[in-house]
Structure 1
């Protein structure tokens, strides 16, 4: 069998078309990257693991607090819960394959897609464009504003209050800007913040649901998540497609989240660099490499690759998947129980404050009412943090890696563009969020994520088949990517037909 891989001593590694060849260097060990003597349990938790907590910050957000519970509360668990479970598992497997490319090359996925024929940065433009098409609508910002309004006033926003909630959403974007100013790495700042927020959310959600709901509600939720079934008859394509797209993270657009593994220094990401906080000047930051680096095919590098691959698997299956399931199961149980008790179904308009409103209506203690308001705000605000930062980061990484002129313009310092662009982006989103209801905007974003899932798995197949042999994908990786495209693509086609013709292609 003839290998197309460059020889061990090669200084460059051609991969795809339209971008320069990758540099070649030995794969570092985790101990070298994270500056520890060993990678025991303590070092793994405190130094190595982290990006998955940012993923959970996005995961336990719009899908888990808005779209999923709204669908479960109005339609029931049957079929809906099983679709959520499939979505979470497929997204974890998809994340692994995206991570394969990032760890093996140190390049963020949007730049990698620019290597896919026909080249000419078509894949990069498409990656950035679809991400913006999904998330620039700002439903995450408007929803956080509605939660904050109710947290402060105790009132459910209606009528003219919606204007106030949107202005609050604008102000919260300013808070996100402030958060990104600090820390040597922006990604590390987010990791530390999300360790606190995600653990607080999961623990208090579990305790509140344990106290407020009967065992039968838990059984309904667990059976609904595990039992294969179709959604209830007459389910709208937009609703169920949004649930599928935003359970866990953002289906086909998850590749943007994997930029954090580059910044963390996973694998060859340690050779590329990271985006520092604005106030981190003088802390040894080096210029980000516009082109990635891969490793020669030696036994030593193959052994090191297996270690990095283990840590990525640990992140996905020990943090991301359990957290995503708990994050969807707990709100789903709570909303379905409250809906059944009161006879009130959650709607697109009422969902941001539905839990708090129903707890107050059913006479629960002010403690639980206050908790519901606060937890709703925290969930949606941390989603706002991740989405707003990723919108900015995605553009910066794409421009920086694609254009030498851009790098000269900013003198090799991505912060010169990152922060002014974040301000311009915030103004743009502020205008958009005054145009529609928050959950309607989130539904649109989720279905655009499903469109991305029809495209990027096939681009990823091209890339992961051309990596050095120790990192190269097996046959089952291609099967997983085909299943991702088919599953999420089915829901997008339904959504698109519903939007264009008023009738979905398939009705449940």
Structure 2
């Protein structure tokens, strides 16, 4: 009931209250504003060059590897649903939920900081995107001999991200626009290319 509290693990107690009203979608602009954070997350998954390097592995090793994509997508769906439910019920992101677990936020704070550094702070994503750019330049997937080209593009991509952050009005708004453009170009472009270049027999093999 409203006004009550519930134990919150190693963190402060949760206040019990009613759910807030969902945001009203009055027009297309409001809809895009609501979808903005999701677009940033989606852009993070396709912006590292996986959309090019991943399919190249299927070309090399066969469509039998699609079972990995199916299993990982299914597990990711359940994970995302549970994280969404936690945020809806508590009003806080899942990372704060982990801080409520033992042995406490002093431990989990360092764990997430170190893990986040290795995942995002290192220029691995920039080099992943650079691999895709270099592939367009070379007309093939870069190999070990193409390392200087990939590193050069990686530096350009990394510097471009820094410039993008400086010239945007707000970081979140800038990321939203950049990821909307990337989504339409990458996903739309790949769909058109697939429909134009991939024969029906290959589509059927992938479905089977």
Same fold (TM over 0.5): yes
- Greater relative contact order, per chain length (Cα 8 Å cut-off, separation 6+): 1
The corresponding residue for 1:142 is 127
Alpha-carbon distance between aligned partners in 2 of 1:94 and 1:21, rounded to the nearest angstrom: 24
Match of 1:98 in 2: 83
Using the size of structure 1 for normalisation, the TM-score is: 0.36
Counterpart for residue 159 of structure 2: 174
Deviation of residue 100 (structure 1)? 1.7
Contact 2:87-2:93 within 8 A present in 1 as well: yes
1:198–1:217 Cα change, 3 Å: same
How many angstroms apart in 2 are the aligned matches of 1:101 and 1:20?
16
For these two proteins, the number of residue pairs brought into alignment is 206
Gaps of 5+ in 2: none
Alpha-carbon separation, structure 1, partners of 2:17 and 2:96? 20
| Structure 1 position 119, deviation (Å) | 1.7
Deviation readout 1:97-153 (Å, 9 max, x if unpaired): 112222333323222201012224323332333343445554322232344345557
User: Structure 2: how far apart are the matches of 1:82 and 1:146?
Assistant: 25
For the Cα contact (< 8 Å) 1:110–1:123, is it kept in 2? no
Inter-partner Cα distance in structure 2 for 1:112 and 1:123: 10
CA distance in 2: counterparts of 1:168 and 1:43, whole angstroms: 35
Give 1:8's aligned residue. Answer: 2
Contact preservation (8 Å) 2:6, 2:16: yes
Name the CA distance, whole Å, in 2 between partners of 1:200 and 1:47: 20
Secondary structure at the aligned position of 1:16 is classed as coil
Give, in angstroms, the shift of residue 157 of structure 1: 5.6
| 2:42 pairs with 1:48 | no
- Which structure has more helix as a fraction of its residues? 2
Describe the shift of the 1:189–1:25 C-alpha distance in structure 2 as closer, same or farther (beyond 3 A): farther
What are the residue-to-residue correspondences of 1:364-379 with 2, within 5 Å?
none
> 1:210: which partner in 2?
195
**Structure 2 match to 1:21:** 13
Structure 1 gaps of 5+ residues are: 1-6, 32-37, 224-508
Residue 81 of structure 1, CA deviation: 1.1
User: What is the distance in 2 between the residues matched to 1:47 and 1:29?
Assistant: 17
Matched, 1:192 2:177: yes
TM-score after normalising by structure 2: 0.79
Name which of 95, 101, 109 aligns with 1:124: 109
Distance, in Å, in 1 between the alignment partners of 2:145 and 2:60 is 27
RMSD: 3.1
CA distance in 2, matches of 1:22, 1:189: 34
Q: Conserved in 2, the CA contact under 8 Å of 1:14 and 1:22? A: yes
The answer to whether structure 1 residue 64 and structure 2 residue 64 are counterparts is no
Aligned counterparts of 2:141 and 2:203: Cα–Cα separation in 1 = 28
Offset from partner CA, 1:271-303 (integer Å, 9 cap, x none): xxxxxxxxxxxxxxxxxxxxxxxxxxxxxxxxx
Cα 1:214/1:153, change in 2 over 3 Å: closer
Q: Secondary structure at the match of 1:82?
A: helix
- Separation in 1 of the partners of 2:81 and 2:66? 23
For residues 100 and 118 of structure 1, do their structure 2 counterparts lie closer, same or farther at Cα, with a shift above 3 Å needed?
A: same
Distance 1:159 1:124, change over 3 A: closer
Larger radius of gyration: 1
Q: Secondary structure at the match of 1:180?
A: helix
Give the drift of 1:87.
1.4
